[in-house]
Amino acid sequence: MPNNDVPGEDKKALKKRFIAGAVCPRCSEMDRIVNYWRGGKNYRECVSCGFVDEIRLQSASAELQTRVNKTWTKAGREEAVKLIFPGKENKK
């Protein structure tokens, strides 16, 4: 079935790939969704009911600030800490 929307599309076979575990939003059948590119756009299609949808991928969002990736600045002055060991006399 040639596609007249995109020039040169009928010369190449359309490569469709099944998406494991995907559920169709219309008929709720599992493992019936195929993914393919056509005209520079990504589509998903259900082979059971014929549902077709363009997949619009979102760009990566900014990473949330956590204590691990946060840059720390030195605020204030540094102070020495005295260690106290139990069972020994603490001498000054």
Q: What is the mean pLDDT of residues 28-35?
A: 94
pTM given for the model = 0.50
Using pLDDT thresholds of 50, 70 and 90, give the confidence band for residue 65: confident
Q: What is the mean pLDDT of residues 50-59?
A: 86
Alpha-carbon distance values, 91 to 50, 82, 83, 84, 85 (Å): 83, 11, 11, 10, 11
**pLDDT tens for each residue of 6-28:** 444 555 678 999 999 999 999 99
Q: What is the mean pLDDT of residues 23-39?
A: 94
Judge whether 46 and 29 are in contact, CB under 8 Å: yes
Give the pLDDT of residue 69.
77
